[in-house]
Amino acid sequence: MSNLQEASDLENLVRVSARRFQESPFIERTQRPEFIRGVYAGRYFPIHIGEDEIEFYWRLRQKALLFDTPEKPVEIKGPDAEAFLNHVLARDVAKMAPGRGYYAIACTPQGGVFMDGVMFRFDQETFWYVQADGPFETWLMANSGGFDVTISDPGVRVLQIQGPASMDIMHAATGRAIDDTLKYFRAGFYDFAGQRLYVSRTGFTNELGYEIYAGPETDHLALWDHITACGAPHGMEFSSCRAMTLRRIEGGILGNLTDMDTSMTPFEAGLGPFIDMDKGDFIGRTALVGKDQRTCLFGATCVSATPSAGSQILDGDLVVGRITAGVPSPTLQLGIGYVVFAKPGNWVGRTLQMRLPDGTSHDVQIVTLPFFDREKNLVRGIDRTIPSIPA
């Protein structure tokens, strides 16, 4: 697997040609000497800007953060768009209404997870699929034979505003148009100081939040200045992805190519609820028929160390699993990570051994995901309580 975003990555740097990947249109507002970029979906994004990640984590949980994210919308348009997407995705696209967002997975013909992302429907013939890391646009084109569809890159960059103050910030930024009537995984067009942009109530933190989709016709710097001016009274700051990574793992959000890949079925990744096996044929369905639908991916907590990618999980002397990603949890005040087991089993509630890459061993508890707020009351806006920093 790849696309790791752990603290050690800040020391694992290489120089890359600036022409190879897409620069952010907001770079004039975000660039600073401490800036370290990563590459995701062919785009540069900030993985570190010199900030204190724990301080910014608590700003995310108590106020709001603004993220310049590299997720990439792909447009699928045409008379056969619905039928085509039902062919390439495991969700039933026919059930989607305009303004609705669906988390949707694309499988390989062998039933492995190829891509995950959020799909939006604009009208009968127009969709966006906001993809994770990987060559999804090319894959869509390769599978579009026989369908009357056009697949294109609309050139959209996505900003995320996440945290309990995000609704108030968006309310101000859209002239009071956005409020709690825009529900979780819903979307629409809104005016931002004269610029009409698409907005969804989604994000990558499991906190209350929104995503703003800025196309090539957008005055990006004016948009940035408007949003930051609206966010300043609420304590919002621009952040790299580090605080987001801490929170997304706490929230049980998986990263494509990091926590799951083509070697895992969606069932093994715990994503069975997003696979509509009864909708008819789709790429990978035949391979998934009869597969074990039990989960192999769980959470691991550790009091004495932070799990890290590549760590082995042992049951006695037997290696039974591996850590895909790990972070310190400021809320739980212990180390947490994702563990993928070689086969399903009664793992939850067990105490196992974790062998870190440095050779040290530590006890870990196997738990269900997410690590807290399992009812998703935070992201749905039901729980608006501002958490306190543990003593």
Q: How long a stretch of residues is the chain? A: 391
Q: Which DSSP symbol is given to 20?
A: S
pLDDT digits (tens, 9 = 90+) for 240-259: 999 999 999 999 999 999 99
pLDDT tens for the 391 residues of the chain, in order: 455 556 666 667 777 666 689 999 999 999 988 999 899 999 999 999 999 999 999 999 999 999 999 999 999 999 999 999 999 999 999 999 999 999 999 999 999 999 999 999 999 999 999 999 999 999 999 999 999 999 999 999 999 999 999 999 999 999 999 999 999 999 999 999 999 999 999 999 999 999 999 999 999 999 999 999 999 999 999 999 999 999 999 999 999 999 999 999 999 999 999 999 999 999 999 999 999 999 999 999 999 999 999 999 999 999 999 999 999 999 999 999 999 999 999 999 999 999 999 999 999 999 999 999 999 999 999 999 999 999 8
Per domain, the residue ranges of the chain are: 1-291, 294-391
The CATH architecture to which 294-391 belongs is Beta Barrel (2.40)
Cβ atoms of 348 and 298 within 8 Å: the answer is yes
- Placement of tokens 């590459």 in the chain: 39
Distance in angstroms (rounded) separating the CA atoms of residues 217 and 207: 30
Cβ atoms of 47 and 36 within 8 Å: the answer is yes
Distance in angstroms (rounded) separating the CA atoms of residues 371 and 253: 10
- Placement of tokens 């609820």 in the chain: 273
Residue 7 is predicted with a pLDDT of 66
Q: Which of 163, 155, 255, 151 has the alpha carbon at shortest distance from 214? A: 155
The CATH architecture to which 1-291 belongs is 2-Layer Sandwich (3.30)
pLDDT digits (tens, 9 = 90+) for 93-124: 999 999 999 999 999 999 999 999 999 999 99
Letter for the amino acid at 313?
A: I
User: 319: Cβ–Cβ under 8 A, 6 or more apart, which residues?
Assistant: 312, 313, 342
Residue 1 is predicted with a pLDDT of 42
Please name every residue paired with 120 in a beta bridge, in sequence order, or none if there are none.
101, 128
